[in-house]
Amino acid sequence: TQLLEQSPQFLSIQEGENLTVYCNSSSVFSSLQWYRQEPGEGPVLLVTVVTGGEVKKLKRLTFQFGDARKDSSLHITAAQPGDTGLYLCAVFMNTGFQKLVFGTGTRLLVSP
């Protein structure tokens, strides 16, 4: 069983469309991170959300942490081909060490 389930698994849209991807869990977290990974490269941190209900904006990307801190969403407005990539949510789990655990990922393809 995955700690973090992301949906949808794959999303193919046209340039200019809006989209939302989700990261869900039954566990409560103190914070949650979103990464974007382009093909053949390592993930790059986009944002960390900490407070329940928090909303953070990064240009056309809007991140929200659920009120109960169990889930998060990423909304992209007017998607561009440069947004193409794998979007991963991640949380730190204390297993005697602060281990970074990643979600299952959403692969986004934005076509011109």
Partner 1 sequence: SQTIHQWPATLVQPVGSPLSLECTVEGTSNPNLYWYRQAAGRGLQLLFYSVGIGQISSEVPQNLSASRPQDRQFILSSKKLLLSDSGFYLCAWSVAEGYEQYFGPGTRLTVT
Q: Residues interacting with partner 1, by CB under 8 A?
A: 2, 4, 33, 40-45, 48, 86, 88, 92, 97-105, 107
Nearest Cα to 10, choosing from 61, 82, 85, 93?
85
CB of 9 to partner 1, least distance (A): 9
CB of 100 to partner 1, least distance (A): 6
With respect to partner 1, which residue has the nearer C-beta, 66 or 105?
Answer: 105
> What is the token pair recorded at 110?
């934005």
With respect to partner 1, which residue has the nearer C-beta, 15 or 41?
Answer: 41
Answer for the pair 90, 101: CB distance below 8 angstroms, yes or no: yes
Answer for the pair 1, 25: CB distance below 8 angstroms, yes or no: no
CA–CA separation, 41 and 27 (whole Å): 29
With respect to partner 1, which residue has the nearer C-beta, 67 or 103?
Answer: 103
CB of 39 to partner 1, least distance (A): 9
